[in-house]
Amino acid sequence: MAEEAAQAPLTINSQYVKDHSFENPNAPGIYGSMRKESPQLNVNVEVTPGHLQGDLYEVTLGLRASAMIGETTAFLAELDYAAVVTIANNLDEKVREQMLMIEVPRFLFPFARAILADDTRDGGFPPLIMNPIDFGQMYMSRKMAQSAENPSGEGESGEDEAGEDGGEAAAEETTPANGQA
């Protein structure tokens, strides 16, 4: 009983690069084009939780960034950065879902952002410095979209949404590239 009361609600057991790629398909010609025109940057963010066993979960933060100059690809960067976490069994399902969809991605984001910044810098581009992401707002938008799709609330079980087979939240941002997104 004392052990249960002392257990932290969330423990990050490990974090790791799950999948990672950087493509610079039009080098070196693209560098000259960048002097004339700024690339158009598109960034997608996805959060995918999954239940492993017992109180263990995996949360994957997917970042996809592409930069285009006109119809020409400047770069494509993809990263799935994940963590295995323990979430206390005594938390209710809604809190568990919020931990998986908000708190864990908030913890992972600075590490994933640094990897993409290094990738773009090492690829000969200005480092991609992504602005902080409001994972709480992403989560709420996802919940509102689910409610709009299913106004009766049928089929909404916390375990499925928390990632038994992975609920997913996504956001997209397109901006002119100046190294920040």
- pLDDT tens, position by position, 49-107: 999 999 999 999 999 999 999 999 999 999 999 999 999 989 999 999 999 999 999 99
Supply the pLDDT for residue 180: 56
Has residue 49 been placed in a domain? Answer: yes
| DSSP label at residue 129 | B
**11-40: per-residue pLDDT in tens?**
999 999 999 999 999 999 999 998 889 899
Q: Is the pLDDT of residue 117 over 70?
A: yes
Q: Distance of CA 181 to CAs 39, 65, 155, Å?
A: 12, 9, 36
- CB atoms closer than 10 angstroms to residue 102: 19
Has residue 72 been placed in a domain? Answer: yes
Has residue 23 been placed in a domain? Answer: yes
User: Which residues constitute the domain of residue 126?
Assistant: 2-174
Has residue 181 been placed in a domain? Answer: no
Has residue 24 been placed in a domain? Answer: yes
Strands (E) located in 24-55: 40-53
Supply the pLDDT for residue 166: 46
Supply the pLDDT for residue 75: 98
Q: Distance of CA 144 to CAs 37, 59, 73, 104, 137, Å?
A: 38, 21, 34, 21, 10
Domain containing 72 — which CATH number?
A: 3.10.420.10
Has residue 180 been placed in a domain? Answer: no
Has residue 71 been placed in a domain? Answer: yes
